[in-house]
Amino acid sequence: MQVPKVMNHISIREPGDPDVLVSDTGQVPEIRDREVLIKVAAAGINRPDVMQRQGNYNPPPGASQIPGLEVAGEVVAVASGVTEYKVGDRVCALVSGGGYAEYCNAPVPQVLPIPVGLSIVEAAGVPENYFTVWTNVFERGGLQSGETILIHGGSSGIGTTAIQLAHLHGANVITTAGNAEKCRACLDLGAKHAINYREQDFVDQVREITSGKGVELILDMVGGDYIQKNISCLALEGRLVQIAFLKPSVNEINLAPMMINRLTITGSTLRPRTVQQKGAIADELRKNVWPLFMEDKLKVLVHKTFPLSKANEAHRLMEESTHIGKIILDLSI
């Protein structure tokens, strides 16, 4: 397959609002050892992309400056010695950058076949969310069947993924969302309770739902004053996993309840991890999650698609927080 030398992509002109995302041209990336080159059919939009555009989340050393952390498409070239994939394979991949482009290279351990039953657009919304949820809910958070988990941002890409996986794992799911429509979507995905945080105090609601016991695990991407509230929601020996900050990351909190109730507060980011670490997560997804797609037990909710040239509009929609599920760049439109 003939691969061009030049491609269209999105550049961040300077830190700022969505309109600093501009259409650009550049060299098709060269594949390095243990990489494949993907002709991108679709790319997912994620909060870290917004943070990068704002100048608040720099790519790790060696990563592309082009935004975009997940893609789906067709393999058009493979590095020497790569046997796991061949030219023509349809795949999705977690990448450290470079997704908002016609071509993107990806380390082989971070590449997965497109799950059975998913369109290529839906598949573009899988890697970032599923890698993040698996490592934080099940590895760091240690969620067990029969436990209760509180998932904030239930209607987001992360939230809709976490609700489904936790429910299928046998957990009781409580989630928060910002309006009645979002709450209904969360319930449809398997949440037992959906709290409209604009109308109800989620701490009071969690205490009522759990008869004062609290929840064993919380997945939070809000931060700020939510941290103290989350601590108040945790059961004895409960765990709080922090994966992002929509509110300030610096906040004064009272740690006495953590000591008294033997709580664990942890967190992680995905992008700076090594290829080997991400590959280990991919192996777990292939073994534990991909069969659930084959059994039609998981959904990827795509709220809206945009052409590559309208990445600024996609970011604007994400910042409005009116979406349910994923926002995707579809390079076929």
Q: What is the pLDDT of residue 174?
A: 99
Looking up tokens 């988990």, which residue turns up? Answer: 149
**Which residues, in sequence order, are bridge partners of residue 239?**
217, 264
Q: What residue spans define the domains of the chain?
A: 6-126+271-330, 130-267
How many Å apart are CA 25 and CA 149, to the nearest integer?
45
Of residues 221, 233, 295, the one with CA closest to residue 258: 233
Of residues 131, 116, 114, the one with CA closest to residue 42: 114
Q: What is the pLDDT of residue 35?
A: 98
Tokens describing residue 284: 């777990």
Name the stretches of the chain with pLDDT < 70.
none
Taking only the tens place, the pLDDT of each residue in 201-213 is 999 999 999 999 9
CATH homologous superfamily of 6-126+271-330: Medium-chain alcohol dehydrogenases, catalytic domain (3.90.180.10)
Tokens describing residue 272: 């700076």
Looking up tokens 């010695």, which residue turns up? Answer: 81
Best CATH choice for the domain 130-267 from the list 3.40.190.290, 3.40.50.720, 1.10.1060.10, 1.10.3720.10: 3.40.50.720
Looking up tokens 């670490």, which residue turns up? Answer: 277
How many Å apart are CA 103 and CA 253, to the nearest integer?
45
How many Å apart are CA 158 and CA 135, to the nearest integer?
12
How many Å apart are CA 164 and CA 72, to the nearest integer?
21
Task: Classify burial at 63, counting beta carbons within 10 Å of its beta carbon; exposed 0-12, middle 13-18, buried 19 or more.
Answer: middle
Q: What is the pLDDT of residue 326?
A: 98
Q: Which helix (H) or strand (E) holds 160?
A: helix 157-168
Residues 6+ apart with CB under 8 A from 213: 235
C-alpha radius of gyration, the chain, whole number? 20
Neighbours of 13 (CB within 10 A): 11
Q: What is the pLDDT of residue 199?
A: 97
**9 φ, ψ (degrees, to nearest 5):** -155, 175
Taking only the tens place, the pLDDT of each residue in 172-184 is 999 999 999 999 9
Of residues 18, 8, 155, 129, the one with CA closest to residue 69: 129
User: What burial letters (b/e) apply to 24-54, b meaning 16+ CB within 10 Å?
Assistant: eebebbebeebbbbbbbbbbbbbbbbbbbbb
Q: What is the pLDDT of residue 246?
A: 84
